[in-house]
Amino acid sequence: MTWDGTPGTAVVTGASSGIGAEYAERLAGSGWDVVLVARRADRLAGLAERLREDSGTAVETMEADLARPADLARVAERVGAPDVSLLVNNAGINGYGPFTEVDAALLTKVVDVNVVAPTVLTRAAVPGMLARGRGAVINVASLLAFAGALPPVPLPHRAVYGGTKGYVVTFTRTLAAELAGTPVRVQVVCPGLTATEFHLGTGERPVPGEQRVHDEGGMPVADVVTASLAALTAGEVVCVPGLEDAGAVERLAGAELDLRGGAGAALAPRYRAGPDSDG
């Protein structure tokens, strides 16, 4: 089923800055009505006013912390409304730090925002999209989803964050396979380091003040969103904005198929030897 991008209503979470704000601006500029979801009401109000002036489209704002069940339920209700034909699950926090030192409550919040929220919102959106014969979900993950065994220097300490983004990748790919042949598209976009304020805090509290960009730089958010929307039109389930070799995704699938070769009933020979065996 071709995603034609015909404007409707799009819900964008984490819309107060960075990638989420760029999605909102790009979609509004293409004629979409947008629902902006984030914790920072002042940022949302400013973005909404600008989008209305620049695009003339309808803009709603929802101040919400997706780690709070009541807020998540409220956003899920809006996502399930019949006018919504695009959901962008962009909200995310990092909780970076050595696993044994990061506050356990923060790690729980990372899982709530990065795993529970996109799952709940996607579940709220997809049935109606299927019934109406049109819709798409974009889940924003990270290349850190594929960085499991790499050391934390120069990468961040990321055991829980990387695990949550690995979930988003697997969830999206599996759901896309389940929905193959239907009118609903599902995509996961996996940026590398991006020029946002994401690294200016752990996510426990919103970054205060005006929008900023962390010192490490990275890919411009406009390029991330350009890649994502182009990939959605092309039908790519996994979008890695900076990846030149698109075949890498197919090779990953091939490696996974090799691992699935271990699904048989027979024990692998290397596990049969006793503890005193020489091999």
| pTM, entire model | 0.92
DSSP per-residue letters across 167-220: HHHHHHHHHHHHTTTSSEEEEEE---SBSSSGGGS-SSSPPPSS----TT--B-
Which residues pair with residue 9 across a beta bridge? 33, 84
| Residues 6 or more apart in contact with residue 86 via CB below 8 angstroms | 8, 9, 10, 11, 27, 32, 135, 136, 137, 138
> What is the tens place of the pLDDT at every residue in 222-265?
999 999 999 999 999 999 999 999 999 999 999 999 999 999 88
| Residues 6 or more apart in contact with residue 43 via CB below 8 angstroms | 16, 17, 211
Say which range, 9-13, 98-102, 169-173, 213-217, has the weakest mean pLDDT. 213-217
Q: Which two tokens mark 106?
A: 């923060």
Determine how many CB atoms are found less than 10 A away from the CB of residue 36: 27
Instruction: Among 3.20.20.10, 3.40.50.720, 3.50.50.60, 3.40.50.880, name the CATH number for the domain at 9-271.
Output: 3.40.50.720
> Which of 23, 96, 161, 167 is the catalytic position?
161
For residue 214, pLDDT beyond 60: no
**Whole-number pLDDT of residue 3:** 75
**Between these two residues, 274 and 203, which has the higher pLDDT value?**
274
Q: Is 161 a catalytic residue?
A: yes
98 close to 157: Cβ distance less than 8 angstroms: yes
For residue 212, pLDDT beyond 60: no
251 close to 49: Cβ distance less than 8 angstroms: no
